[in-house]
Amino acid sequence: MPDPTFRTVLERLVNFKPGPPVRSPEGRSYPLAANESPYGPLPAVVKAIEEAALGVNRYPDNNCVELTAEISARLKVAEDEIAVGCGSVGVSQMLLEAVAEPGAEVMYAWRSFEAYPILTRLSGATPVEVPLRDGAHDLDAMAAAITDRTRLIFVCNPNNPTGSVVHAAALEAFLDRVPADCLVVIDEAYHEYVRDREVPDGLALRTDRPNVVVLRTFSKAYGLAGLRIGYVVGHRETIEAIRKAFLPFSVNGIAQAAAVAALRSEAELMARVETTTRERERVREALRALGLPVPPSEANFVWLPLGERTLDFGRHCAEAGVAIRPFAGEGARVSIGSPEENDAFLVAAAGFDNPPTSENPPTARA
């Protein structure tokens, strides 16, 4: 019997295969691989989840009306300038389905968030990857790579996995060079962790630019990664188009209720974010004191450009029960967890005795 015919693009994609669970010899595990919040949901969020659970025999609100109103009130943007989706990954897929097709080009810096190439390929568009320069977006090179086929550009600010940022002046100059018919997606998944005052709030940048949208998520600072909910803010017509690509009912009612409760508990959540940003600086300083390379990060993770030493470092951490995210030959991304988790990581890092060589100096590029 012949196999079903699959799209040729699938040959370029791989199924995610989880590795063995990471555990120390004593059975401890420290999950620092996925940039999650280390804190469980607040009581008010748990209560909202419990209440929403009682209604799961019904379909969820397909328009996320209550949540959209809550976001609108907080961000001071109109409700029809907001589209909610199944995580910001789900929203990214909606964006691509709205503008990308075979023949179109989708541009992003590389290395950046791993979903960009996957979703771009699935959309049928051609990925255009512009290498980072010193671990940061090379906006000049990106502007130069724009063609009349470029339909969408992701700017991940701060960038995952390097933690680098794009400043307001540079981003505005770049946006001025992007044709009006090309959508620019400023992915601000880590926005709440930014302390560098020169980093723009994408929401301010997009008001007079109809081709700019801002992507936000409840997965990081709001601590709801497991519920899959995020949103995009943009110009009315753009949002209307994007909403057409929404997979019906893909944002469940529990996620919607939890997101509303999380927004109403913002002060407590932002206090947790403050702890994380303080921990980020502590972890970075401690790693640097160990002689490890760690550029500044404005996100809830740090980046160690370890080059060829990366996989050894990842294995070494795993043996101590610390799960991190190594990118072979490039570097390791380590999420900032609770102080206890961070300490476990720092103890592991201190025991890493694969010293830098002349081929892999500590300043190796990302």
Contacts to ligand PMP by CB under 6 A: 35, 87-89, 113, 156, 160, 187, 189, 217, 219, 225, 230
CB of 113 to ligand PMP, least distance (A): 4
CB proximity list for 152: less than 8 A, separation 6 or greater: 95, 96, 99, 100, 104, 106, 107, 125, 182, 183, 184, 185
Q: Which two tokens stand for residue 323?
A: 């799960």
CB of 165 to ligand PMP, least distance (A): 12
CB proximity list for 326: less than 8 A, separation 6 or greater: 310, 311, 313, 314, 332, 333
Instruction: Classify 332 as helix, strand or coil.
Output: strand
CB of 152 to ligand PMP, least distance (A): 14
3-state secondary structure 132-186: CECCECCHHHHHHCCCCCEEEEEEECCCCCCCCCCCHHHHHHHHHHCCCCCEEEE
Residue 327 or 352: the one with the smaller Cβ distance to ligand PMP is 327
Residue 302 or 320: the one with the smaller Cβ distance to ligand PMP is 302
Inter-CA distances, 273 with 43, 138, 174, 280, 355, Å: 17, 28, 30, 10, 33
CB of 68 to ligand PMP, least distance (A): 16
CB of 88 to ligand PMP, least distance (A): 3
Residue 49 or 156: the one with the smaller Cβ distance to ligand PMP is 156
CB of 28 to ligand PMP, least distance (A): 24
3-state secondary structure 284-327: HHHHHHCCCCCCCCCCCEEEECCHHHHHHHHHHHHHCCEECEEE
Tell me which residue has its CB nearest to ligand PMP. 87
Residue 84 or 320: the one with the smaller Cβ distance to ligand PMP is 84
CB of 206 to ligand PMP, least distance (A): 17
Ramachandran angles phi, psi of 153, nearest 5° = -130, 125
Residue 189 or 320: the one with the smaller Cβ distance to ligand PMP is 189
Residue 97 or 187: the one with the smaller Cβ distance to ligand PMP is 187
Residue 160 or 250: the one with the smaller Cβ distance to ligand PMP is 160
